Amino acid sequence: MADYRNIQARTSAGVRVDAGIDQGLRSYMLKVYNLMGIGLAVTGLAALAIVYLATTNDPSLAAYQMSNGKMLTSFGVVLYTSPLKWVVMLAPLAAVFFLSFRINSMSVSAAQATFWVYAALVGASLSSVFLVFTSGSIVQTFFITAASFGALSLYGYTTKRDLSGMGSFLFMGLIGILLAGLVNIFLQSSALQFAISAIGVLVFAGLTAYDTQQIKEMYYEGDDSDSYGRKAIMGALRLYLDFINMFMFLLQFLGNRN
């Protein structure tokens, strides 16, 4: 009888511990998704604000008219046609490297603020898509990306299959995309661009599931508040990058050009 009570006590304690871990993991993943969602919102608002300031429908306010009929204000001319455009394009890259390499020495609040700044810089960089694609197709592609991302991330969170073996394959695919993109800057090949976009969608679809599983495994119940916060921010950054890149590659397929 005593043995039975001991077994029962140990079993009950194990259930309570597992329940606590599951609850902590859910809270951790929810924080990751919330941070990522806010980052996407910041990016969208920044992109819309930049486009509002850079374009106009009033010919009297236009400083330059593009070949597709879009009219740019003086601010838009400086932003999109001067050497400043390279600063806008490269600033997010500098910010993401800074956050990735310095996060362990930063406070959680500073790391989070840097993430918001990075998201806003990405918005400024991506604002030019409104000059190329119609607003309707951008919105449509966003919701398709959101649905795809949600399904893939859910798979990565719930699957019992170990996805770690995909990591090296996906990394090689990512390097291949970057190299092909650099080459196509000079070749300007539509066929190569189509191939890059197709492979890009597949690579970032795989990375969404892979990164979700990796972020889940990063959770540790014994983390202090700072470690917990930094892990959540880095997890949000990884998923944010997956979403943005998947969106941009899908836009090449689904976007209607102005």
Confidence of residue 69 (pLDDT cuts 50, 70, 90): confident
Residue 19 has a pLDDT of 52
Count the domains in the chain.
1
Higher pLDDT pick, 16 / 50? 50
pLDDT for 20: 52
Domain that holds residue 110: 2-254
- The mean predicted confidence, pLDDT, of the chain is 88
DSSP track, 88-139: HHHHHHHHHHHHHHHGGGS-HHHHHHHHHHHHHHHHHHHTTHHHHB-HHHHH
pLDDT value of position 21:
59
Give me 11's structure tokens. 């079993």
Q: How far is CA 74 from CA 71, 78, 86, 127, 250, in A?
A: 10, 6, 17, 16, 31
Q: Is the pLDDT of residue 117 over 80?
A: yes
pLDDT at residue 12 tops 70? no
Please report the pLDDT score of residue 23 as a whole number: 86
pLDDT band at 3 (very low <50, low <70, confident <90, very high): low
Note the pLDDT of residue 1. 45
In the predicted model, is pLDDT for residue 10 greater than 60?
no
- Give pLDDT, residue 18: 54
Region 134-156: what's the mean pLDDT? 95
Q: Is the pLDDT of residue 17 over 50?
A: no
Contact 251, 138 (CB under 8 A): yes
